[in-house]
Amino acid sequence: MILDTKLYNNEDILNIAGGNEAKLKIISSFYNTNITISGNDIICGNVSMEVKEELENIFTFLLDISKHAQISIQDITYILKMKDNLEELKNLYLNRKPIISNYFGKPIYPKTLNQINYINLINDNDIIFSTGKAGSGKTFLAIVLAVKMLKEGKIKRIILTRPAVEAGESLGFLPGDLKEKIDPYLRPLYDGLYECLGKEIVSELIIKNTIEIAPLAYMRGRTLDNSFIILDEAQNTTKMQMKMILSRLGYNSKLIITGDITQIDLPTKIDSGLKHAISILKNIKGIGLIEFEGIDVIRHPLVNEILKRYDEE
């Protein structure tokens, strides 16, 4: 079956189909049909007229934004999820601007409408609670914005922290000194910094104390001025730990608190500090709140299916 949408430009074809037609394969899998490009034609297997119309709308949309932006595999996954809201989505791709370029010179863009809302919240508020499933960009985008503000001289240091909650392993039985025991819990924070700045620069900034990565317990008793603070995995904080980090906020600082309240590793009788803080602080001016949804998860398409099945179970 040949779709009415035509592709006349080789650059558009490459941008939409991807190397080895990787993007087409994602669309094919989503609709359980085989989609190929032959000359200017987009050809799919026998599908209903409703699916044919959806595919034509999607490829017309991809053709429109291809003239203005590079389309990634992650973009394809998100566009398929948002196939019923393509007009709303068009503004994202036609107007989005890179936040910064990563260590390799590749621009880092917000990838979903909620991610744009998140960026605006961080710019407009001093404390932000960000909740949602892994892969929605909660922590990574916060790190990207922290690096941007550091480069622009708006802050003097970046502080990344998370509670060292034991999820199945005892720290006492792990090899090495305290730093070596704690570092695995902080690895996702290092990874985000490495992508933005490179390992050597990150190491230099850590030595200078411009970047600090430490367990949450190390924040006690401090006042954090001119800082961009990110508390990751906040669902595993207690009420007292959450009160402690919230009271560390100093002048000209931002505090981003991220977590997934469906992944709490605290003992059963201990309430999550993240859930409690959101319930009592959500209406205070200067505190932003955003909840990412499954549609914002932009990892491998299989991740979305896996999370969906676990939610159903």
What CATH number does the domain containing 235 carry? 3.40.50.300
Which of residues 95, 113, 148 is at a domain's end? 95
Per-residue pLDDT, 60: 93
Q: Give yes or no: residues 90 and 105 share one domain.
A: no
pTM for the whole structure: 0.84
Q: Give yes or no: residues 152 and 21 share one domain.
A: no
Q: Which two tokens stand for residue 52?
A: 């044919």
Q: Give yes or no: residues 189 and 128 share one domain.
A: yes
Task: Report how far residue 246's alpha carbon sits from residue 244's, in angstroms, rounded to the nearest whole number.
Answer: 6
> pLDDT tens across 127-146, in order?
999 999 888 899 999 999 99
Q: Give yes or no: residues 185 and 149 share one domain.
A: yes
Q: Give yes or no: residues 197 and 227 share one domain.
A: yes
Q: Give yes or no: residues 37 and 106 share one domain.
A: no
Rounded average pLDDT over 193-216: 93
Domain region containing 190: 100-312
Q: Give yes or no: residues 255 and 118 share one domain.
A: yes
Q: Give yes or no: residues 167 and 217 share one domain.
A: yes
Task: Report how far residue 291's alpha carbon sits from residue 130's, in angstroms, rounded to the nearest whole number.
Answer: 6
> pLDDT tens across 42-66, in order?
998 888 999 999 999 999 999 999 8
- How would DSSP label each residue in the chain? -EEEEE---HHHHHHHH-GGGHHHHHHHHHHTS-EEEETTEEEE-S--HHHHHHHHHHHHHHHHHHTTS---HHHHHHHHHTTT-HHHHHHHHHH---SEE-TTS-EE---SHHHHHHHHHHHH-SEEEEE--TTSSHHHHHHHHHHHHHHTTS-SEEEEEE----SSS-GGGSSSSHHHHHHHHHHHHHHHHHHHH-HHHHHHHHHTTSEEEEEGGGGTT--B-SEEEEE-SGGG--HHHHHHHHTTB-TT-EEEEEE-TT---S-TTSPPHHHHHHHHHTTSTTEEEEE--GGG--S-HHHHHHHHHHHH-
Q: Give yes or no: residues 79 and 149 share one domain.
A: no
Is the model's pLDDT at 313 over the cut of 80?
no
- Our count of domains for the chain comes to 2
Which of residues 62, 79, 95 is at a domain's end? 95
Which of residues 95, 130, 146 is at a domain's end? 95
Q: What is the mean pLDDT of the chain?
A: 87
Q: Give yes or no: residues 90 and 106 share one domain.
A: no
Q: Give yes or no: residues 72 and 201 share one domain.
A: no
Q: Give yes or no: residues 210 and 279 share one domain.
A: yes
